[in-house]
Structure 1
Amino acid sequence: MAGNPVGCAALRQIDPVVGEMMRLDTGPGQSEALSLYSSIGFRVIQPHYTIPEEMRVWFVFMELVFADYAKNA
């Protein structure tokens, strides 16, 4: 998989028992973080916790499904 070599190496060390996915949130102004997460395989998703509608513009929610990552790693 293309992407940040350090981030990809870290994800390969995750024990599958830990869970099926990793979710995170960051801000839309965090372009370097968004690029890093996207390069590793994270995809933009709907909020994964309750947040007021007016605050959604302040967040970008992302998810990496480990099974999908393993296929492309």
Structure 2
Amino acid sequence: MYGAILAGAGYFMSPVYRGLTIQFKVYLQMSAMILGGCLEADHSIREYEAKVRMHKRLMRDREVWEKYQEEYEQASPTPKK
């Protein structure tokens, strides 16, 4: 989308861009689209990795908390009635 807008702006503003062959214009636009796709993929994978790290951290903390509770229950004397 942005590539088409930039191509239109380049066509109207730059005589150099107007003089390029259609093949080179397509190459430039495809390069911009591929770069955008790569950047978005990198952003998405970093978000996913952060979620996985947080989930693992929560599971590890939950396990530590459960062990602590078990030790506390075993160590505390049970009141007799």
Calculate the TM-score normalised by the size of structure 2. 0.20
Q: Which has the higher contact order (CA 8 A, sep 6+)?
A: 1
More helix by share: 2
Calculate the TM-score normalised by the size of structure 1. 0.21
